[in-house]
Chains A and B, each alone.
Chain A
């Protein structure tokens, strides 16, 4: 606590915080107030005014149009998050406590996959998915997200497990445990915080992802991010429907952030998410 701050400094501080708060809130204001306007009230000219009366017409129509895509996104995100987390956990475990010759190089090669721009694999990926018959399907998209999620989940778990002292593993080995039982009895039970961080990260990223979603799916399997852009590009622009659709798209990840956010930040601060 800094008692040595003058009142002037305090005021400046809060002024800055508030100015930025306004900046961060402007889009939310536009989003929420427009989505609550009725069809007759929504127009370009009244963009900044509050709705004269709350109407959920926009939400009803947006939801009617987007409901199947919301489901698609859930069908996509939950399995993809689960699988990439489990595999990442095992990978991170092996790469931190069961190293072998070349395992660090292997890790680097795995990690590289996290940094590539996805455009560089996109076209061959589309062709490959078509060849194995998974193009245009949610399971196909799940596979893609699991594979491309492996680098980051492996990194997060490896960072987390590195803080576990080797002595623990050594002692267990002396007791006759093998690689699997050590994971089951020692590492897995303490992994909960890391799993939470990974869940949040993967859930958010996969739900919000757009490039794979728009190139690998068709109408039936479109996740919500794609459906939202289609909504924005369709025949008649009804802004309350579009803004409602944007809120529906943002809501799940926002809720995840609001409910679990503190664990995420804690995890971030503890070094799970480093560059």
Chain B
């Protein structure tokens, strides 16, 4: 009797042990597929460093680095959409915070909320709260912002300005005067490369902030500001004035070509997101020495945000590992590993400033104090239909200069895609 019982017991114990060990073996193995378009330069390096950090914490999880190159993410977004629609999501994917995430994937019910996770890890309060809000929907947060770029920033070639007795402008009026002065001197006042259309839209959105102010601008997306607000028209007028001072071949150039023109001393000003800062460093410049920066005139106090975030799709093949990934990128080590390499700033407010160059440090200070606004051109403010419609409107406007037509089109686009 006893013998049989103990036999039974030991068998049960063995089975239990096997079961438990196989369970933990399952938890130890596995993979996680991370989908992004970080395929070149600092982005790729930064991502690889992040993956290394992840593997230090989770050595048994294999990271499948799924990237899609081309079109500054537009190819990747197309591939991602097809996968999500087809019920084949990656474990986590790069997506711009705000409308790009919320309109496309959250409202259609394809993402899991992660508010609970952020609270569990004790990181929720470490982030800039405005930026978390951007990726929220009906009270829940849906993604972890990894990095932050700024859209309403203007760079200038110090030598070119000095040679022509031009001071960094304090407002739009003095900016236009500066542009006129450079034009007379035979230098390209403002270099622009809009063969891909969005760089022009990006300038326009900064001017919208200049005329509407951050709350007015944000109001366009939350229903508090009407699309026929006269300040919108004002922004179009300013945009038209400024466009008289860009290089004639702007439609044949990429943004890199335009920044390069300034680098070569042929242009004074260049309005471009602060990834241009990283690009200028690769061209050999040092922030603060050969080039200076300032917010687009009259948009000080607003930080137009472009942020890459990662969320948790419903039906992710390896949800537990996906959460590990999210935890890594939400940590201060994760953010301080990735951002210095990529040339952006963390979304957390407790980063180690010593790791960042003078421009990025000043950006971090602004980020902590300014009102945040979502970028239109990069998908955070409004759905993709609006972005492409606005790109077309601005593209036509640059040539026609017809303010009333552009104003009407803006309202039409707003009505169709935002309201």
- Residues of chain A having any CB pair with chain B under 8 Å: 126, 130-131, 135-136, 214-215, 218-219, 226, 229-230, 233-237
Contacts and interface: CB of A to CB of B under 8 A. Distances in A.
A135 B87 CA distance: 13
Interface string B208-234: 000000000000000000000000000
Contacts of A230: 69-71, 75
Contacts of B39: 219
Contacts of A226: 70
Contacts of A131: 86
Nearest to A129: B82
B86 A135 contact: yes
B40 A235 contact: yes
A235 B41 contact: yes
B98 to A, nearest CB: 25
Contact of B68 (A126, A219, A236, A237): A219
19 contacts: A126-B82, A130-B86, A135-B82, A135-B86, A219-B66, A219-B67, A219-B69, A229-B70, A230-B69, A230-B70, A233-B70, A233-B72, A234-B40, A234-B69, A235-B256, A235-B279, A236-B256, A236-B282, A237-B256
Interface in B1-58: 39-41
Interface string B64-80: 00111111100100110
Nearest to B257: A237
A182 to B, nearest CB: 46
A126 B83 CA distance: 11
Given A219-B67, A219-B69, A237 B86 contact: no
Contacts of A233: 70-72, 254
Contacts of B66: 219
B93 to A, nearest CB: 13
B254 A130 contact: no
Interface string B279-290: 100100000000
A219 B44 CA distance: 15
Contacts of B257: 237
Nearest to A234: B40
A236 B257 CA distance: 9
A130 B82 CA distance: 7
Nearest to A236: B256
Contacts of A234: 40, 69
A219 B66 CA distance: 8
A40 to B, nearest CB: 14
Nearest 4 interchain pairs by C-beta? A230-B70, A130-B86, A219-B68, A218-B79
Contacts of B40: 234-235
B82 to A, nearest CB: 5
B169 to A, nearest CB: 30
A218 B86 contact: no
Contacts of B79: 136, 218
A240 to B, nearest CB: 17
A271 B191 CA distance: 55
Contacts of B68: 218-219
A233 B85 CA distance: 28
A242 to B, nearest CB: 12
A144 to B, nearest CB: 15
A70 to B, nearest CB: 16
Interface in B254-276: 254, 256-257
Contacts of A215: 78
Contacts of B279: 235
A237 B70 contact: no
A66 to B, nearest CB: 12
A237 B254 CA distance: 10
A153 B40 CA distance: 41
A233 B196 CA distance: 10
A170 B67 CA distance: 60
A219 B72 CA distance: 14
Contacts of A130: 82, 85-86
Contacts of B282: 236
A135 B79 CA distance: 9
Contacts of B85: 130
B115 to A, nearest CB: 32
Nearest to B70: A230
Nearest to A214: B75
B17 to A, nearest CB: 40
A126 B82 CA distance: 8
Nearest to B35: A218
Contacts of A214: 75
A213 to B, nearest CB: 11
A229 B254 CA distance: 14
Contacts of A218: 68, 79
With most chain A CB atoms within 10 A of its CB, the pick from B75, B79, B256 is B75
Nearest to A215: B78
A227 to B, nearest CB: 8
Contacts of A236: 41, 256, 282
Nearest to B71: A233
A230 B78 CA distance: 15
A215 B82 CA distance: 10
Nearest to B79: A218
A259 B279 CA distance: 45
A59 B70 CA distance: 20
Contacts of B70: 226, 229-230, 233
B263 to A, nearest CB: 12
Given A136-B82, A230-B69, 19 more contacts: A130-B86, A135-B86, A136-B79, A215-B78, A226-B70, A229-B70, A230-B71, A233-B70, A233-B72, A233-B254, A234-B40, A234-B69, A235-B40, A235-B256, A235-B279, A236-B41, A236-B282, A237-B254, A237-B257
A79 to B, nearest CB: 23
Nearest to B40: A235
B58 to A, nearest CB: 25
A135 B72 CA distance: 21
B149 to A, nearest CB: 15
Question: Considering residues A130, A229, A234, A235, which has the most beta carbons from chain B within 10 angstroms of its beta carbon?
Answer: A235
Contacts of A136: 79, 82
